[in-house]
Structure 1
Amino acid sequence: MSEQPAPDLGLRVLRAWLKSGSPLGPLEVMGDEMGYFFQIPLPAFHPYVVFGPQANRAVLVTQRQKLLWRNTDPVTDLLWRGVLVVDGEEHEAYRKCMEPALHPAQLPAYAEMMVAQAKRVCDGWQAGQVVDLLVESRKIALLIIFQALFSQDIGKDLPHLWQPILKAIAYISPGAWILWRQLPRPSFTAPLRQLDAYLYGLIAKRRAGPPHPDLLQALIEADYPDAVIRDQMLTMLIAGHDTSTALLAWVFVLLGKHPSVMEELSLEVAQNDKSPLLDAVIKEALRLYPPIHIGNRRVAQALELEQGVIPAGERMFYSIYLTHRDQRIWEAAEAFRPQRFLGGRQTPPFSYVPFGGGPRACIGAAFGQQEARLVLTYLLRRFRFEPVHFERIHPHMGATLEPRPGVWMRVQPRTH
C-alpha cells in the first residue's frame, strides 16, 4: 500500500469515472494505487474500502462480530426487519426459519418449475426477433422466485408488479442519497405502497386458505406478525430475483462477446445434462461481474486489518469486484477465461466470494446457481443468440451489478 497517493490520483480517478460511467472505474484506480485498504473522501462521509483475501476473511468470519449490517440507508428503510439487514439473534432466527425452503435437498423439487418458467417467457419470442436478455431474464427470475417461495403464479400480475419492483430496486441503489441522507424521494411512495399491498394480500390469502410447503408458510407457522413476514418476503424477492437477473444477463453478454465459447457450450449442453463448461462459464461470470459486488457494514468495534485499523463508528465497504479482478490473485484478471475453473483448479481461500462467506453467506446461493444452470441449458438448447449493439454495454452499479443499457440479442430457433 502506498503511504501517500500520487499527486495526479484525483485526475486519474476523474478520468476513470468519465470513461466508465460508474464508480467502478475510480475504485479500480484507487485500488491499484492505494492497495487493499483506502478511504474515499466523499462530501458527506469518508467510508473505508477494503478488498483481498485477508480483508474478506476478517469481514466475513474472524472479525465479523465487530461489524453491523443494520444502518440508516434506504436498504434498511425498505427491508426494515428483513434477514439481510438485522444482526445477532434476530438474524439467526429468521435465517433458521427460512433455510429449509432453500436447502440443497429441496432444490430438485424446483427444477421442473424453473425450466417451465423459462419456456413460458421464451415461448413469446419470434424467429429473428431482437430481445433484451436483461428484461427477459428478469421476467424468468420473478416468475421463479414467486412460485418457489410463495407458491404464487404471477403471470397475470407481472405487468402491474413490474414498475413497483423496479422502483424498489432503484430505491436501494446507489444515488444522491449517499451524499444527502434526508433527500426527499416522493416518486417512490405510491409504487412501494402498491408492492406492499400485493405482498400483504398474499399473506392474508395464505392465512385464510390451505397451507403450502414453502417459505411463506414457514414464516406464518413461526407465528411472526404480518409486518415481519412482509419484510422477509420483500428481502427474498428483491435479493433473490435481482441477483439471478444480473447473473443470467452477464452470461449472455460474455457469451455474445466470445462466440466460440458460446458455440462450444451450446454443443455441450445439447449432448449432456451436466456441463462442466457451463458451470465454469457461470463461475467466471460471477468472478468478473459479481451481482453483489460490494458489501456495506457499520464498524461497531475497531476493525484491525493487516493494512490498517478502521475505527469504531465508521462505515466500511468490502469490494468483491476488486478482489475478483486483483492481478495478484488472478492470471489475466480482466479476461474472460472460464477454463480457469475447469480441471479441479483451486483458488486461494476468500479470493472468490460471489456469495459472501461465513455464517452470513448468501442463503440462496445454491438455489440461484441451479436456476442459472437450468435456465441457460434450456435457452441454449432451444435458440441461437446473436449480439446486437454490444459495444454500448457497461456495468451499472444498482442494487446489483447489471449490464446497461440492456443485452440485446437476435434469437433464432435451433433446428435439430
Structure 2
Amino acid sequence: MAHLQPKNIVIVGGSLGGLFLGVALKQLRKNLNIRILEKNPTQLLHDQGAGVVAAGDVQEFFQRHDRTHTPLAVTSHQRLYLDRKGNVIDREDKQQHMTSWDLLYHVLRANFDTIDSEYAKAPEPMDNEGTAVYRHGHQVGDVDVDAGTPLVIHTTTADGQSESFEADLLIGADGPSSTIRKLIDPSVKRTYAGYVAWRGTVPETSVSSSARDVFVEKFPFFHTSGCQILAYTIPGPNGTVEPGKRLLNWVWYVNYAADSPEHVDLMTDKEGKRHHITLPPGGIRDGVWTKQKERAREILPPQFAELVEKTEVPFVQAITDVISPRAVLERDGRVVLSGDALAGFRPHTAASTNQAALDAMLLAEAVGRIVDGEDREQVLGEWERRVVQYAREGQRSGVEMGQRSQFGEHPLRG
C-alpha cells in the first residue's frame, strides 16, 4: 500500500462535491489523470434554484482554486427573527456570505474541464495539470476491489452500453445515497427525518418594500410549532450579484410523518410517480401547491407568505440522515468517501457544501503527499480521522438543530 501511487483517479459524482475534488486535484499540478463520472445523462447539470451559504471552507476553496476570479456571493449583514405579524423580535449583526448552487457549479466546471458559460470563462491551461475529463451519463453498477488486481469501475452509459475504468484511487462523491458506499458497505442506511424542505426563489424586485426590508442582504427566520422558514439573497440569473437583479431564496421546513397520506400526496408528482428524496421543479401538483400557499397565508408572517405566493416553480426535498463510520472503505486505501457520501448533514447546519470543500482540499493535500513519496496508509489515516470527526460533529449538530426546530420549542418562536 505504501508504494501505490494514485495517478489515475476516478471520482463518482459530478455535482459540487465531485467538482471540488476534481479542481483541487488538478491544481496539484502533478500530472494526474482525473475522471469524473456523473450518472445524469445531460452534459451540464441543471440548477434547482438552490441557495448555498458560503461558509469559511467554501470561501477558502475558491480563494485558492478559482482561476476565473468570478464574484461568488452576496453578503448578509444581519440575522432577524420575526413574529407571526412580521415584527422583528430579535436582531443580530452577523455577516454571512450567500451564493447559489448554479453559480458554484459553473465556476467549478470552468476550472475543471474548461466549460465556458455566461457564469464564468475558462482560465488558460497550466503546466503539469494532467488530464481532467467529465463523463456524463455513466451509472456505476459494480466495482472490482480484489486485492492484488487493478481497481475497476463498471458503468452503464445513458444509451445502455457497458464501459469500465481502471483507477488507483476511487472517490465516492455521489451524495447521501452514494452508490459507491452501498457497493462497499451496504450496512449504512439513509433514513427520513420526518420533515421536508419546501424551497423556491423570487426576484428581489418582485416583492413589496416591507418584504425587501427584511429579506434583502439579511437572513430572516420565523419559527412556530413544527415549522421553520428562512430566506436570504443569492446571485441572480447567470450568477449576477448586481443589486436589483438578484434572487430571494427561501427554505420552509414542514413536518410530514413518514408514509402518511399527506406525505405520500406531497411526494407524488403530476405524472403520478412517487418520489422519496426530491420532488423536482415543475413536479409539484397544482392542488398541493395551492394548499401550501393557503397554509403560508394562515401561519407565516406576511413577508414570508408573500415570498411563497410569488414563487413560480417551487420544489421539495426530504430531510434525511446518513453517516458512514469510515471514509476509507477498502484495506488498500483505494476507495474513499467525501462530502455527502460520507455524511449527509441536515441543511440547518448550512455546512454541507462546506464539508465537501473541506474534504476536497484535505484529500488533495493527502494525494499530493502520497505522490511525493509519503506512506499512503499513514497519510490517508490522518485524512480519515480529520474528515470523520468533522462529519460526526456536523451530523450531530444538524440532528440537534432539526429536532429542536421541528419537534421542540425554539427559544425565538414567533
* TM superposition score category, shorter chain reference: under 0.3
- Structure 1 or 2: larger strand share? 2
With structure 2 as the length reference, what TM-score do the two structures score?
0.25
- Relative contact order: is structure 1 or structure 2 higher (C-alpha 8 Å, sep ≥ 6)? 1
- Structure 1 or 2: larger helix share? 1
With structure 1 as the length reference, what TM-score do the two structures score?
0.25
